[in-house]
Every structure is written in structure tokens, then in C-alpha cells.
Amino acid sequence: MAGPMADHRSSPSRASSAIGPLLRCIGCATMVGGESSCPSCGRAYPSLGGIVEAIGPLSGRNRITEAFYGGPSWERFRPWERRFLALQGGNRRARRPILRHLPASATARLLEVGIGDGDNLEFLPAGWDVFGVDHTRRRLEDCLRRFPRMAGRLARSEAEALPFPDATFDASLCVGGFTMFGDHAAALREMRRVTRPGGPVVVADEVPWLCRAGIGHLIGVPRLDLHWLRLLGLEREFIEMVFELPRNLDEIVLAELPGADRRRIWGGLGYCVVHR
């Protein structure tokens, strides 16, 4: 049965809305229990403006993407993302082949990894308990401004070190960003770990070779693609990173999620991985 695509999402029940009681220390795996620090190792988990900080220093691709999504480059580039979605039939239609793999139930506890501004929230059932993580604080702040009901449900966290115990969620969702994660294997393991056995882990993004499909790469002069991507508002460090993204995501997915179903979406320019 196809999963949810709601027309409108009203405020969810607050009975189990606070993310604090769900937190597990990313350092020692002790339950934090809604406190501001780990009772075992003392690691701090402050809640700042309705967003819990559960993250360490960023490095590699995660550091670069945090600077991109948290800075002016993302605002300059975002109109191009909207054009891409328009070519797929619009925001709702572009997300339909992804969200259909989520549970077809009136109630569920969902974790969205890389929640960003919360673009998927309006398409989820009103009765769901939704929590979100992202390693870019500015995106979480924008999500909270758009959806004030998400206060107490968001954490700044890396996908590779999710601050939750095993089998906490009925489903995990990641739409966009996965291709650029710092450690794809670790992120997949974590999403599978925090999702109950049999619950779907759904991951979708653009194909990793998309930024290498420009004329410069096709004729063997990649610096030409660097030039026009700079004109779109992207920083050099970010462009060089996406040019070097791993090409073997299929191998990584199959190694970490044996039996996962991988589907083409967005006219072959994207992929959707589903594992139960």
C-alpha cells in the first residue's frame, strides 16, 4: 500500500513530543533522559531556541556542506533547486515516489534525517510524531520558523552519529543531502539502527554524477564546469567537493542494507533507496 501524502498537516499530539527523553549520548551511549548533560560522561546537550545540540566538531564533507547550507551560497543556489523540482512536476509530485514508501498508517513516529527547512512536513499525516535532525543549525532554525510546532522535536546532529537508542522510530526518512554526507555507510547504519526492525528506511537524492555531467567534464576540461557553477553562486570548495563525490553509492548501500530496493526517480536524475 502506498504511504502518506497529506494535503495539510495540523499540529501533532504533544503527548510524546519532546525530543529530550529520547536522546542517547553520542559519546557513551547512555540515555540522557531529558537532562541538559549526559549523566554518565557529562557531555552537554543544551537546548537552544527549541533545538537540541547533539553534535561534535564537523569535518570533511559535513563541514563543507554546513558552510554551504548555512551561508549565502544556498540562498543564491536555491532558485535552481526549485527549477529542478518544477521540471519534476512540482514539489508535491517530486516527493510522491519517495514518501509513498513510508508507513500507510494514521499514527507513526518518524525521524527525518537532514530535515532542512522541513519541506516534507506538509505532506505527512497530521497524527504522526515527527522528529528531525540536521547538521546545519540555520536550516533547523528556518524549519522552526516555518513550522513552530516542531519546537522540542529538532536536534542538530550528524547522520553518522544519531543521538537516539536502537529501534526508536517506526520509519526513517532522508530526502536530499545524503549523496554529500561525510560517511555514507555510517549514516545508513545509523538510520537502520534507530528504526525498528521491519520499519522502512527511505533515502532519496540526486545521483552523485549529476554535477559531473556538464560540458566541461564531457570534453575533458572540468574547469569549465567549475566556472559556470561558480556563476550559479556556489563556492569553489563546495564545487570541488561535489566533483569528487563517491561513484560507488550502490555498492555502499548494498553492503550496509542487504536487500535494499533502489529505484530511479526524477527521470533518472535521482534515486530512492528503501530498506525494511
Check: CB of residue 19 under 8 Å from CB of residue 32. Answer: no
Position 217 scores a pLDDT of 56
Is residue 15 in some structural domain?
A: no
Is residue 166 in some structural domain?
A: yes
Is residue 233 in some structural domain?
A: no
pTM of the model: 0.89
What CATH number is attached to the domain comprising 257?
A: 3.40.50.150
Is residue 101 in some structural domain?
A: yes
- Residue 79 domain boundaries: 50-208+245-275
Tell me how far apart the alpha carbons of residues 49 and 151 are, in angstroms, rounded to a whole number: 8
Is residue 123 in some structural domain?
A: yes
Question: How many folded domains does the chain comprise?
Answer: 1
Is residue 223 in some structural domain?
A: no
Is residue 17 in some structural domain?
A: no
* Predicted confidence pLDDT, tens digits, the chain (276 residues): 467 765 433 333 333 348 999 999 999 999 998 899 999 999 999 999 999 999 999 999 999 999 999 999 888 888 877 887 887 878 888 999 999 999 999 999 999 999 999 999 999 999 999 999 999 999 999 999 999 999 999 999 999 999 999 999 999 999 999 999 999 999 999 999 999 999 999 999 988 866 665 665 555 666 777 776 777 778 889 888 888 888 889 999 999 999 999 999 988 889 999 999
Residue 140's Cβ-count burial label (10 Å; 0-12, 13-18, 19+) is buried
Check: CB of residue 101 under 8 Å from CB of residue 202. Answer: yes
Is residue 16 in some structural domain?
A: no
Position 16 scores a pLDDT of 38
